[in-house]
Amino acid sequence: MNNQNYDKLLDLFQNRRSCRRFKSDPVPEEMILKIIDAARWAPSGFNTQPWEFVVLREDRCRNEIVRITASYWEDCVEMEKARADWQGRKWELKGMTNEPGDYSQAPVYIILFGDSRYLDALPMGVQSDHHRKRLIYQSSLANAFSYMQLAATSLGLGAQWYSAVQTPKSALLIKDFLGVPQDFDVYDMMALGFPAITPPKKPLRKLEEIVHWEDGNEGCFPTDEKVRDFVKKTRAWVTGVHKKKAAE
């Protein structure tokens, strides 16, 4: 069996890591367009393609996004008071980061918006099921976003998800600032640029632990204790406690 295509693809997947520190070098427009062109090819539920992309390169625009979302992390840190003790230390860091980083320094932001009007193309059986309709919409946008991430990696660029744009306050003000209709949904924002660091290895759940064949899988899924162990491990990694210990 010739695995060359798979090997290349896996290599791309393994190289795609969240990058949270960027060089100030500008990203050529051609690269930005290639990234969005790749996203156009993402699968979407019933080929609805419910997406729009807004690219921000000017300091004026990027700074406004930083300003609008600034209070998000303060709220997040305060809400950590409610975290159960067994999970380990609470968030203290500014931003979701496991290495020193600052998305605000990225020279390009791409915000992906969803336009739910395209969901009119869904079969009526799906449209009448609010939960499923929402899932199809979110999954389609997630696919587009993942394609963007992979395209960025293939071009030697680094990218970070920046979900603070999704809060009601951020979404409202960002749409107002950008002149995007309020009926649109903010899916997520990609901070993009040439990477200034190599991300640390991340804890990865093992293949044999997550694959289950055929029937009779009773007792094969992780116990509560095992899940809790992983929750502790991945939280420790994300919050930076054990960043040097992270294994494959």
The site for ligand FMN (CB under 6 A) is made up of 17-18, 20, 96-97, 160-164, 199, 202, 238
Which one, 27 or 96, has the nearer CB to ligand FMN?
96
* Residue 160 Cβ vs ligand FMN, minimum distance, rounded to whole Å: 5
Which one, 77 or 238, has the nearer CB to ligand FMN?
238
Which one, 119 or 141, has the nearer CB to ligand FMN?
141
* Residue 66 Cβ vs ligand FMN, minimum distance, rounded to whole Å: 13
| N- to C-terminal Cα separation, the chain | 26
* Residue 101 Cβ vs ligand FMN, minimum distance, rounded to whole Å: 8
Which one, 121 or 197, has the nearer CB to ligand FMN?
197
Those residues with Cβ within 8 angstroms of residue 181's Cβ, 6 or more apart along the chain or in another chain? 175
112 - beta bridge partners? Answer: 53, 188
* Residue 156 Cβ vs ligand FMN, minimum distance, rounded to whole Å: 16
| 110 touches 36 (CB < 8 A) | yes
Taking the C-alpha atoms of 120, 126, 129 and 133 in order, what is their torsion angle to the nearest 10 degrees?
Answer: -60
With tokens 């990696």, the residue in question is 153
* Residue 138 Cβ vs ligand FMN, minimum distance, rounded to whole Å: 10
Burial class (CB in 10 A: 0-12, 13-18, 19+), 32: buried
Nearest one of 45, 56, 22, 28 to 165, comparing CA atoms: 56
Which one, 210 or 220, has the nearer CB to ligand FMN?
210
With tokens 């008071």, the residue in question is 81
